[in-house]
Every structure is written in C-alpha cells, then in structure tokens.
Amino acid sequence: MVALRSVRTLVLSAGGAVLLVGLLFGVLLPSAHAQSQRADDMFYGRLGGGLSDFTSDLSSWRPTHPFGGGKFTRGAGPPFVFVGEVGYQFSPHWALGIGIQGGNYPVEVYPEIEGISDSYRYTPRVLGRYTMGGGAVAPYVDLGVHATLGGDRPPTRIGAGPSVGGGVDIRLGRAASLYVESRVNLTVPSGAVDGSDSGTRFDVTGQLLGIGLKVHFTAPTPPRIIRLEGPDTLDTGTSVTFAATVNEEAADRPLDYQWDFGDGATATGRTATHAYDRPGRYVVSFSARNRAGTAEASTAVVAEPPPEPPQIATARAAPEPVAAGAAVQFSAAATGGNPIAYEWRFGDGASAEAASPTHTYEAPGTYTARLRVSNPDGDDTRTVTVRVARPAGADTSGAAAAAQNPTDSSGTGPPAVPPADTSAQERWGIVVASMSEEGQAAPVARRYRERLPEPLRVEVRGAESDRGVRRHRVVIGPFEGTEAAQQVLRERAEMLPSGAWLLRLE
C-alpha cells in the first residue's frame, strides 16, 4: 500500500509541477511577448488525452489497483481518459466551452458491487475558463458543471456536480496552441459512479494529467505596418501630417490606431497632424492593434526653428527732390533673422553696403536707387526714386526747365527744381497730377481739397509743354520758397502720390 501511495503522489507531484512552471512562465513572460497578445471573438476546438484518476467508496488503493499492476493482467485496461471540447473565446481572457471527458477507471472491476463489470465512464460538461496573461505561455483555470454516466446496468446511475481544472496553454502559432492540464469532477450522489452509497458522500472521476491541442476555427489576422510617412525635418510651429499604411484589407476589424509624437502629445487614426513648439529630435511612434495582436513602428523627426528671410520695412531718400551736388541721405530698416546685409545701388553706377549711406548726384535727372537686403534665409529688394534738379540760377523759366528735364518731354514729369536755398520771394507749388483734359483734372483737384486740411489750397493750372500740348496740372500751393513746399511733402507724404514734384509758379 505504501508503494501505491508513493506512485500516486509522484504522478500528482508531476502534474502540480507542470502547472507551477506554467504559472511562472505566464507571469514572467508576458512582457517579452507583447506582440503575442491572444486573440478573441472566435470559435475553437480542443482534443487531448491523459491518465485517469478515480476515488470512490470502494477500496481504490488495494494492491490490485491499476497502479499496482493487477488490473492490467486481469484485462480491465490502462487508466486513461480522452477529452474533447468546442467553445467560444469572448476575449483574450474569457472563454466558454462545452465538452466531454471519457475514459477507463479500473478498480478491480468493482467486485464489491455485483454485476458491475464496466469500468468506463463518460462525463459531459460545461466550463467557463479564465486565461491569465496574454503572452505565448499562459496559465488558466476553469470551473463548470458536469454529469457522469456509464456502467453496464444498475445500480449505477447518472451523477452530477462541479468540475474544477487548471493548466497551461502554450501558443504554437496564430491558430493553434498546446495545453497541459489536470481536472477533478466531483459527482453526487455517492453511488452514481460505483454503485456504492457507503463511505464518502461523492465520487471523483478525474484527469490526473492530460495533454492536448487547441485549434482556432476562425484564425484572426493581426495588423501589419507596411510604411510610415512623414517629414524628416520640419519647422517649429508648423503643422505636418504623418500617415501609416496598414494591411487594412487583410487584418481583422476593428483596428485601433495610436500615435505618440514624442513630446507628450498623442493622436488616433491612420493619419495625424501635429506641430512641435520646441526645436529638437523626436521619435514618432505608431501602433496598430486588433484582437489578433499589435504591430508597432517608429520614425525620427527633427524640429528646427523656422527660416526668417529679411523683409524691408522702410526705404527712404531725403531730401527729395534734391539739387545736383547736394548730399542725399538714404535710410532703410529691415526685419528678419540676423545677420542682415544691406546693399544700395544708386542708379548712377555707385553703390554702398550700409543701411543708411549718404550719396551725391552730380548731374540732374531722375535716378532709381535699388536696395537689396539678404540673410542666410533669403533676400528682399525695393527701389527709391530720386529726382535731381539743376542748381539755382541754371534756368528761371518753368517751361525751359521742363524742356531741359529729359523725363518731362511730354509735360507730365517734374521740371527742374532749385535747391532749398532758392529765394523766398519765388512762389512754388506741389504737382500731384498732370492731365491732358481739364475735365479729368477737376475731380482730382476736388478730392485733394476734401482730403487736405486748411490752409492748403488746391487748384488746376494750365501750361504748354515743349511739344505744344496743353497740360492741366493739379497743384497744391502756392508756397513762398521751396523749403515750405518740401516741408509739406514730408509731412503729408502718406496723403500725396510718390511721384509728386515741385513746380515754380509764374
């Protein structure tokens, strides 16, 4: 008897060791198998077998028990069970199954119960199963109810009771896994299995140690990331779009998409838009997940400060008009990233590299000064028109001055203007428009009268050009001397056209 108990203890210890190892694997390995998240929402089937175990009112552990060797010689057969089950996996953790356990439970062919010579019993059952963890190796426990029947004739009858089991599920692939388990089926009434109502209050038809294969009838397809699209570099503060290409046609739905931009921000969807506030290197991560598993991919992006090309804010020349030989002060201001370089070309072949240079024109005429500013991010240009008049005393006639100015051949451009030291006894006006029809000039004059404050006067003056064409000029004035006229030009620059010029009035 001691030997038989040792054998049974050894087998039970082996089964317990298998379950313990499976539990340790299930606890320690999930992080290493994060991509092996178990599937859900599918049907499955299980088929296996193992060693049977039977405890009842009869003397199960006598020397003639199967483990003692006597039953094999008497023809009752080895203690074995076969197991079959079909079920539905609701989630990676929960499942519901319907199955049957059948096998041989030989106990000296029940000699104490007359007429019972059949040692085969069959146990249909319904089980709820909970799987721990989601890795490749996962322990599980289950609980359910069963009915046990078998035996060749009465006094055996159908019994029922709870079924408790546990084991380890070892994933072999997307559609199959290997399991090792042990199970106990408690059966009442006491005589349902062995026909004996004496002794214990229940009988046990168990699976001491079993092994089998689990197959998924509907194998889910996990997501696969084909490509991530996004910029390698971008400007801070600028929104950019990242996109992922996934095997959407093949992967099981629903699919869950998640973005992590590396700066604490996240987003969902297959495409996402994001802007970085600070410069730096960021790792953009994308994951696609469904019931079959999770796929991940990442890409790096560098956020840089945006370029700041220069823009010219102001560009001026003063005085303007100016007499030939007098100094002209140019000035400019620009915005943008430093350093900003300034280059002036004055229109007479001379140039300077400064923001506010001084230049002297030696000959009268109209010059176009060009300013160019630049920095590493770009450049900007602007022009300033400078009208250079003949010095005082070169000509006293307005008509002659117009003839000598090459830009006024039609009578529309500015005539020569004396410098600021012209006698204060001469009367000057500011020409803001010049037209061939008096009817066109009159409404222009009216608009300037409404726009300009008192005591400024606006009138239309007629004059002959050097080609005999009569022009009608809209003139602001008169002013006593050029200095007074130039002061109005400076003070009312925003209200006057950029081409306004001075005219000596007769």
136-185 tens-digit pLDDT = 899 999 999 999 887 665 556 788 999 999 999 998 877 889 999 999 99
Q: Yes or no: say if 117 and 87 are a contact pair by the CB < 8 Å rule.
A: no
The span from the CA of 121 to the CA of 417, in Å, is 127
Q: Give yes or no for residue 125 having a pLDDT over 90.
A: yes
Helix (H, G, I), strand (E, B) or coil at 157: coil
pTM, two decimals, is 0.43
Q: What is the mean pLDDT of residues 91-115?
A: 76
Q: Yes or no: say if 334 and 374 are a contact pair by the CB < 8 Å rule.
A: no
The mean-pLDDT minimum among 97-101, 194-198, 241-245, 461-465 falls in 194-198
The larger pLDDT score, comparing residue 203 to residue 206, is at: 206
Q: Kindly report, residue by residue over 277-319, the tens digit of the pLDDT.
A: 999 999 999 999 997 789 999 999 999 988 889 999 899 999 8
The span from the CA of 160 to the CA of 150, in Å, is 12
Residues 6+ apart with CB under 8 A from 259: 242, 266, 267, 268, 269, 272, 274, 284, 285, 286
Q: Give yes or no for residue 252 having a pLDDT over 90.
A: no
- CA atoms within 13 Å, Cβ hemisphere of 322: 21
Residues 6+ apart with CB under 8 A from 36: 134, 135, 136, 171, 293
Confidence of residue 348 (pLDDT cuts 50, 70, 90): confident
Q: Kindly report, residue by residue over 37-53, the tens digit of the pLDDT.
A: 566 678 899 999 999 88
Q: What is the mean pLDDT of residues 80-87?
A: 94
pLDDT score for 104: 85
Q: Yes or no: say if 279 and 305 are a contact pair by the CB < 8 Å rule.
A: yes
Tokens of 43: 């049907």
Q: What is the mean pLDDT of residues 83-91?
A: 92
Tokens of 471: 């022009």
pLDDT score for 272: 95
| Cis bond before residue 279 (omega within 30° of 0) | no
Main-chain phi, psi angles of 338, to 5 degrees: -80, 155
pLDDT score for 320: 87
The residue whose two tokens read 């996240």 is 266
* Mean per-residue pLDDT over the chain, rounded: 78
Q: Which amino acid is at 111?
A: P
Question: Across 64-68, 130-134, 190-194, 327-331, which has the greatest mean pLDDT?
Answer: 327-331
Q: Kindly report, residue by residue over 399-415, the tens digit of the pLDDT.
A: 333 333 333 433 444 44
Q: Give yes or no for residue 375 having a pLDDT over 70.
A: yes
Q: In terms of C-beta density within 10 A (0-12 exposed, 13-18 middle, 19 or more buried), how is residue 11 classed?
A: middle
Tokens of 338: 């430093």
pLDDT score for 413: 44
